[in-house]
């Protein structure tokens, strides 16, 4: 992978950088049968070209048709836009703890997930929760759609500029 | 019968031995029956590693450690580096959980030893200076030093008694630390059990440190109406006075400095301020001292040229302060053996010689281990050096700042090395055209660590630019805070005991700890104001006590101006510095002891079980950074007091998380009849957790105040606040799993009854009994009449 966004965050086992939105679209579509999108509160304040990051994610959610966990204080916005039945409120650490338990029944009671997509989180905080999943699960693919190269996610982006990130998310959405 | 050493001091003796003046001797051990009789001894005085292990394991059944490794490797011995990720083990056999448990345990030992060594230093210094001062906090406090009573099983009556308690602390830390050696402990749960015990050591070490300074220096002894003192980087009178900046936690040299200034009537010539807990403790003694701010102000203040002398003691002092002081020609004095900085030890040299050397610049810094001498040197040097250094700064002026910004190639290295990922590239880009607004805005989010500037290959110091941009703010930062009051009075506990236990005062919220915030420094204010308005008791200490005061309302008042200092509904209690934290845990213990008449002495498990089930206290360590904060968290968690931390605390690697969806662990004994297996609310949900945003933290704090033993009125009040805050901050109408917190209809908030009943129906909710809960079998039978 490219160097981690937070440069000292070096470890022997690091994830893969996904450079092309088409590749990421393929991963999101093809890999994994039980998927969950975990959207954080930073997505409410980060804007790309005047549009909230959360709105980019909402488009991805709609295309992928996956359930959403709203962390931090992102529930209000997400549930208004997606409907309460699509969004569950849970803290980032609580959802990570559940994803880390192979016996968890999932939000819908149908069992553990095999893909967790993250976005809109403070870079150093989600890096830690991803580290739990990297070290203590074998069944979960983790993907982070924030602009950072996240060594603890299985797949993440390449430390993109805001313009590059916007373009990436738009192309990704088109390709889903 | 307990043995006890005694020190006897005789001012003047005339008799068969002749005539003796100022005579003092110590007899090894005397036996005192009073010493024995104050309370029957409980089952676990001076616990060793296995003693309380069953209690800690019981806690971890509900709250298993949750690990987030920040480093996947270990390099502790020469077998290493070992890669422990994804199920691998090291050459010694340790696995990832074991390694995380070990590192946290070592951190807790460092934290506990830091406070305890500080306390030990103070006892010896104060006994040397004042003799064996009694520990007496006045008529309103009979149960002084509750943690030492609880854990060590003794009631120190004077400074020398504390040495015995300290011996237990030192011995225990040695054993705990030894477990971290290669080839020792293998179980992560046992490492955690040891971290909890380190928390007990910390509670005793801190309590001693604060008790002896209260007793000997005459700090406030729990009075609510302590003075309002000045806070902020703009509070020192740099125009008219020589200024001294102290940084650290050990107030001994600061006290001497204040005494010297008063004795020589130099207060109109010298202004003194401090950063971190030294500031808080100094203002407990000398109202004229200023609280410059929390730990993220050190480089900003020194580089701004506002200190004529920099004097440091111990703990959390930026290790580049000497280098920084040299850049602004401010003489530097180190005063503590834990931090000698390679400086020449001038302790034994004549005072005047040291002063002359520092003023002339012959030496830039000295080590003076005698607090009296250090204080005097600091004052005299400051007066003499002020006209020489003329407020020299080490930051660029406007033109230089623009020139510096122009060297930036926007590579982003600084930003990627910034712990808070601050938008340095954009801010520096704007500064190229003379627009410093973005940099000024960043100032309140900047931790003052300096990591950005080491990373730039193009001669730019983002921190210098931030400090330049923030100069006006720094000059004008002036707020009020209340000085640290120390312990909670027994009379206050009597008044609030019942409302707390029954839930009518919805909780005690305790923001404590350091200033490693993920966002702006003022964020914690929002949380504290919210709970004060709602009638919670808010207790603060350390850096958090300062940072919540950095906001004024429209009337120009800070929270300390607006809310009283009583330990009562809607009171804002600043207990003091880091070592004052046991007054908060101690208040919870006193509720059990004074209100519920549970014995304290050597009775840890029972008191912790009582607090876990009944006392709705929650710690908030929003900017926790240090190993000390780790051991403080352990000290609270072991007692059943949960804590919510900010996002950076995920870097501690370990939380204790409960699972509300795991019904099996949320059961208790009913102490009314000793029966077992009764379901209780999953409360408190976690013992130690992080929150992503302050909004989430506020809601979580309200939820964590819920306790299984709340009476119906209290539960209703707590649920009302939790739901109200969920609506306000999260947009959640009915929190998930609300049904688990409602036992009977009377628990339901009246104004939301219809919609909640509807919700409960959809969840097939059934009423269940209101218990007298305990999670310890032994205790479930103890009080059956
Ligand atoms: S202590 Fe164990 S894990 Fe650490 S370096 Fe040595 S052998 Fe490896
Ligand atoms: S000094 Fe401030 S801007 Fe620089 S790395 Fe530290 S927090 Fe970031
Ligand atoms: S490291 Fe230096 S050159 Fe690179 S963005 Fe930061 S200030 Fe500019």
B470 lines ligand 2 (CB under 6 A): no
Residues of B in contact with A12 (CB under 8 A): 72-73, 83, 85
Write down the architecture of domain B39-136+146-211 according to CATH. Up-down Bundle (1.20)
Span B427-478, pLDDT tens digits: 999 999 999 999 999 998 999 999 999 989 999 999 999 999 999 999 999 9
Pocket test for ligand 1, best of B72, B73, B76 (most atoms within 8 A of CB): B76
With respect to residue A143, please indicate whether it lies within any of the assigned structural domains: yes
Confidence of residue B99 (pLDDT cuts 50, 70, 90): very high
Mutate to test the pocket of ligand 3, among B417, B422, B460 (most ligand atoms within 8 A of CB): B460
**Interval B316-331 mean pLDDT:** 97
Task: Quote the pLDDT of residue B78.
Answer: 96
Tell me the chain A residues in contact with residue B441 when contact means C-beta distances shorter than 8 Å: none
- Which of A6, A76, A92 shows the shortest C-beta gap to B416? A6
- Cα separations in angstroms, A119 against A40, A56, A89, B85, B101: 6, 10, 15, 24, 29
Q: Which of A128, A147, A159, A164 to mutate to test the interface with B (most CBs of B within 10 A)?
A: A128
Task: Say what percent of chain B tops pLDDT 90.
Answer: 92
Whether residue B32 has pLDDT greater than 80: no
Residues in chain A with pLDDT < 50? none
Q: Do A125 and B647 touch (CB under 8 A)?
A: yes
Q: What's the pLDDT score for residue A80?
A: 97
B651 has a pLDDT exceeding 60: yes
What pLDDT is stored for residue B783 in this prediction? 83
Q: Is there a domain that residue A165 lies in?
A: yes
- Dump pLDDT digits (tens) for A88-111: 999 999 999 999 999 999 999 999
- pLDDT by residue (tens digit) across B164-178? 999 999 999 999 999
Q: Which string of DSSP letters, residue by residue, matches B326-388?
A: HHTT--EEE-BTTB-TT--B-TTS-HHHHHHHHHHTS-SEEE---HHHHHHHHHHHHHHHHHH
pLDDT at B23: 42
- Say if A77 falls within a structural domain: yes
* Amino acid B501: pLDDT: 85
Mean pLDDT taken over chain B: 94
CATH number of the domain at B233-389, please? Answer: 3.40.50.2030
How close is the nearest chain A Cα to the Cα of B413, in Å?
8
Of A79, A91, A134, the CB nearest to B731: A79
Q: Ligand 3: list residues with CB < 6 Å.
A: B 408-414, 424-425, 428, 455-456, 458, 460, 462
Query: Does residue B63 carry a pLDDT above 60?
Result: yes
Half-sphere exposure of B43 (CA within 13 A, CB side): 9
Looking at the structure of chain A, the number of domains it has is 1
- pLDDT score recorded for residue B3: 42
pLDDT, averaged across chain A = 97
pLDDT of residue B30: 39
Structure-block tokens of residue B599: 């014995």
Q: Establish if B43 touches chain A: CB-CB under 8 angstroms.
A: no
Q: Which helix (H) or strand (E) holds B9?
A: strand B3-15
* Inter-chain touch B85–A12, beta carbons under 8 Å: yes
**ipTM score assigned to the predicted complex:** 0.98
Topology alike, domains B39-136+146-211 and B479-777: no
* pLDDT at site B36: 53
pLDDT of residue B711: 93
Is the distance from CB of B503 to CB of B713 less than 8 angstroms?
A: yes
Summarised one tens digit per residue, pLDDT across range B564-617 is 999 999 999 999 999 999 999 999 999 999 999 999 999 999 999 999 999 999
Is A27 domain-assigned? no
Q: Does domain B479-777 have CATH number 3.40.50.2030?
A: yes
> What range defines the domain where residue A151 resides?
34-175
State the pLDDT confidence band at B503, using cuts at 50, 70 and 90: confident
Smallest CA–CA distance, residue A108 to chain B, in Å, is 13
CB contacts, 8 Å: B69 with chain A? 131-132, 135
State whether residue B690 sits within 8 Å of chain A by CB: yes
b vs e for B330-348, b when ≥16 Cβ sit within 10 Å of the residue's Cβ? bbbbbbbeebebebeebee
Cross-chain CB nearest to B72 (options A13, A79, A123):
A13
User: Minimal Cα–Cα distance from A39 to chain B, Å?
Assistant: 12
Give B748 to chain A, closest Cα distance, Å: 22
Distances (CA, A) of A167 to A37, A174, B412, B596: 20, 11, 20, 64
Please give the pLDDT value at position B35: 45
Identify the pLDDT of residue B95.
97
Kindly report the backbone phi and psi dihedral angles of residue B230, in degrees, each rounded to the nearest multiple of 5, phi listed first. Answer: -85, 140
Min Cα–Cα distance to chain B from A22, Å: 27
- Packing angle between helix B398-406 and helix B462-469, nearest 10 degrees? 150
- Compute the distance between CA of residue B618 and CA of residue B104 in angstroms, rounded to an integer: 21
Are B657 and A93 inside 8 Å of each other by CB?
Answer: yes
- We report the CATH number of the domain holding residue A45 as 3.40.50.1220
Pairing assessment for the beta strands B309-312 and B242-247 based on DSSP bridges:
parallel
Nearest CA in chain B to A105: B661
Closest CA to A158 of A175, A146, A169: A146
* Cβ contact, residue pair A125, B700, below 8 Å: no
Give percent of chain B with pLDDT exceeding 70: 95
What are φ and ψ of residue B422, in 5° steps? -75, 150
Task: Report chain A residues touching chain B, CB-CB < 8 A.
Answer: 5-8, 11-13, 40-41, 71-73, 75-77, 79-80, 88-94, 97-98, 100, 121-125, 128-129, 131-132, 134-136, 138, 159
When pLDDT is averaged across residues B192-220 and rounded to a whole number, the result is 98
Pocket test for ligand 1, best of B71, B73, B82, B188 (most atoms within 8 A of CB): B82
Q: What's the Cα-to-Cα distance from A40 to each of A74, A89, A155, B80, B421, rounded to whole Å?
A: 6, 10, 18, 37, 17
More confident residue, B36 or B576: B576
B417 in reach of chain A (CB within 8 A): yes
**In-domain check, residue A24:** no
B731 has a pLDDT exceeding 60? yes
| Residue B542 structure tokens | 């350390």
pLDDT tier for residue B38 given thresholds of 50, 70 and 90: confident
Query: If 0-12 CB within 10 Å is exposed, 13-18 middle and 19+ buried, where does residue B594 land?
Result: buried
Q: Is the pTM of this model over 0.90?
A: yes
Total Cβ atoms within 10 A of residue B85: 19
What residues does each domain of chain B span?
Answer: 1-32, 39-136+146-211, 233-389, 398-476, 479-777
Q: Are B291 and B560 in contact (CB under 8 A)?
A: no
Q: Kindly give the interhelix angle for B159-178 and B96-130, rounded to the nearest 10 degrees.
A: 160
Q: Would you say residue B8 has pLDDT above 50?
A: no
**How many whole angstroms from A7 Cα to the centroid of ligand 3?**
14
Q: So what's the pLDDT on residue B37?
A: 76
């Amino acid at each position: 992978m490219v160097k981690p966004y937070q440069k000292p965050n070096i470890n022997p086992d690091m994830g893969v950088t996904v450079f092309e939105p088409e590749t990421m679209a393929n991963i999101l579509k093809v890999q994994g049968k039980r998927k969950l999108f975990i959207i954080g509160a930073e997505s409410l304040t980060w804007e790309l070209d005047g549009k909230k990051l959360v709105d980019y994610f909402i488009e991805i959610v709609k295309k992928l048709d996956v359930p959403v966990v709203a962390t931090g204080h992102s529930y209000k916005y997400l549930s208004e836009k997606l409907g309460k039945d699509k969004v569950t409120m849970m803290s980032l650490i609580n959802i990570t703890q559940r994803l880390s338990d192979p016996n968890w029944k999932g939000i819908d009671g149908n069992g553990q997930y095999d893909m967790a997509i993250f976005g809109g989180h403070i870079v150093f905080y989600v890096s830690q929760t991803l580290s739990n999943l990297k070290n203590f699960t074998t069944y979960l693919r983790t993907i982070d759609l924030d602009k950072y190269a996240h060594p603890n996610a299985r797949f993440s982006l390449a430390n993109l500029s805001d313009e590059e990130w916007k373009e990436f998310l738009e192309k990704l959405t088109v390709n889903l | 019968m307990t043995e006890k050493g005694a020190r006897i001091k005789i001012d003047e003796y005339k008799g068969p031995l002749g005539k003796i003046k100022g005579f003092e001797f110590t007899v090894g051990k005397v036996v005192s029956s009073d010493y024995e009789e104050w309370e029957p001894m409980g089952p676990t005085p001076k616990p060793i590693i296995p003693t309380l292990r069953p209690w800690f394991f019981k806690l971890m059944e509900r709250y298993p450690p949750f690990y987030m490794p920040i480093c996947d490797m270990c390099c502790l011995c020469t077998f290493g580096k070992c890669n422990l990720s994804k199920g691998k083990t090291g050459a010694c056999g340790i696995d990832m959980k074991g390694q995380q448990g070990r590192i946290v345990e070592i951190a807790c030992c460092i934290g506990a030893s830091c406070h305890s060594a500080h306390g030990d230093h103070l006892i010896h210094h104060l006994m040397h200076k004042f003799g064996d001062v009694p520990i007496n906090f006045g008529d309103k406090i009979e149960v002084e030093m509750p943690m030492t009573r609880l854990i060590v099983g003794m009631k120190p009556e004077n400074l020398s008694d504390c040495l015995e308690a300290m011996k237990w602390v030192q011995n225990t830390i040695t054993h705990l630390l030894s477990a971290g050696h290669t080839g020792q402990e293998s179980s992560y749960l046992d490492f955690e059990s040891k971290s909890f015990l380190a928390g007990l050591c910390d509670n005793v070490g801190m309590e001693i440190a604060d008790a002896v300074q209260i007793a000997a220096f005459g700090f406030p002894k729990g009075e609510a109406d302590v003075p309002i003192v000045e806070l902020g980087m703009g509070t020192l009178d740099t125009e008219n006075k020589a200024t001294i900046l102290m940084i650290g936690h050990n107030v001994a040299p600061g006290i001497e400095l204040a005494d010297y200034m008063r004795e020589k009537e130099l207060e109109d010539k010298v202004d003194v301020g401090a950063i971190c807990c030294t500031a808080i403790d100094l203002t407990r003694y000398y109202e004229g001292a200023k609280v410059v701010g929390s730990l993220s102000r050190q480089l900003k203040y020194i580089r701004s040229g506002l200190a004529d002398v920099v004097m440091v003691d111990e703990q959390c002092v930026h290790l580049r302060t000497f280098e920084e002081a040299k850049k602004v020609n401010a003489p530097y004095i180190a005063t503590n053996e834990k931090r000698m900085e390679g400086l020449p030890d001038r302790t034994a040299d004549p005072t005047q010689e040291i002063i002359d050397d520092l003023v002339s610049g012959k030496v830039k810094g000295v080590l003076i281990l005698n607090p009296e001498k250090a204080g005097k040197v600091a004052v005299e040097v400051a007066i003499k050096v002020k006209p020489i250094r003329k407020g020299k700064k080490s930051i660029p002026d406007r033109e230089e700042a623009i020139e510096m910004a122009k060297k930036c190639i926007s590579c982003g290295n600084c930003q990627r090395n910034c712990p808070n990922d601050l938008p340095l590239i954009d801010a520096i880009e704007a500064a190229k055209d003379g627009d410093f607004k973005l940099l000024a805005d960043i100032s309140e989010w900047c931790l003052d660590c300096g990591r950005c500037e080491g990373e730039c290959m193009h001669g730019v110091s983002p921190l210098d630019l931030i400090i330049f941009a923030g100069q006006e703010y720094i000059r004008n930062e002036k707020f009020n805070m209340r000085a640290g009051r120390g312990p909670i009075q027994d009379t206050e506990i009597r008044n609030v005991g019942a409302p707390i236990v029954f839930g009518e005062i919805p909780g005690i919220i305790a923001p404590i700890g350091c200033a490693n915030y993920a966002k702006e420094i003022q964020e914690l204010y929002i949380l504290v104001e919210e709970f004060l308005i709602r009638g919670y008791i808010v207790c603060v200490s350390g850096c958090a006590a300062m940072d919540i005061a950095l906001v004024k309302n429209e009337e120009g008042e800070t929270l300390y101006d607006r809310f009283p200092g009583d330990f009562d509904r809607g009171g804002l209690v600043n207990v003091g510095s880091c070592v004052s934290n046991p007054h908060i845990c101690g208040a919870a213990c006193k509720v059990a002891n004074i209100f519920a008449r549970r014995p304290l002495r050597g009775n840890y498990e029972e008191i912790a079980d009582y607090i876990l089930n009944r006392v709705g206290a929650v710690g908030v360590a929003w900017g926790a950074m240090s190993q000390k904060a780790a051991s403080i968290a352990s000290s609270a968690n072991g007692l059943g007091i949960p804590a919510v931390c900010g996002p950076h605390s995920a870097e501690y690697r370990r939380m204790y998380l409960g699972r509300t969806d795991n019904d099996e662990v949320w059961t208790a004994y009913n102490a009314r009849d000793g029966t077992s297996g009764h379901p209780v609310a999953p409360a408190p949900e976690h013992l130690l957790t992080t929150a992503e945003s302050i909004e989430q933290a506020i809601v979580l704090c309200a939820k964590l105040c819920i306790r299984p033993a709340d009476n119906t009125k209290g539960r209703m009040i707590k649920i009302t606040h939790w739901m109200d805050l969920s609506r306000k901050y999260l947009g959640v109408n009915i929190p998930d799993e609300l049904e688990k917190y409602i036992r009977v209809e009377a628990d339901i908030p009246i104004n939301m009854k219809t919609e909640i009943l509807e919700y409960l129906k959809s969840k097939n909710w059934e009423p269940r009994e209101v218990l007298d809960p305990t999670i310890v079998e032994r205790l479930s039978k103890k009080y059956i009449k």
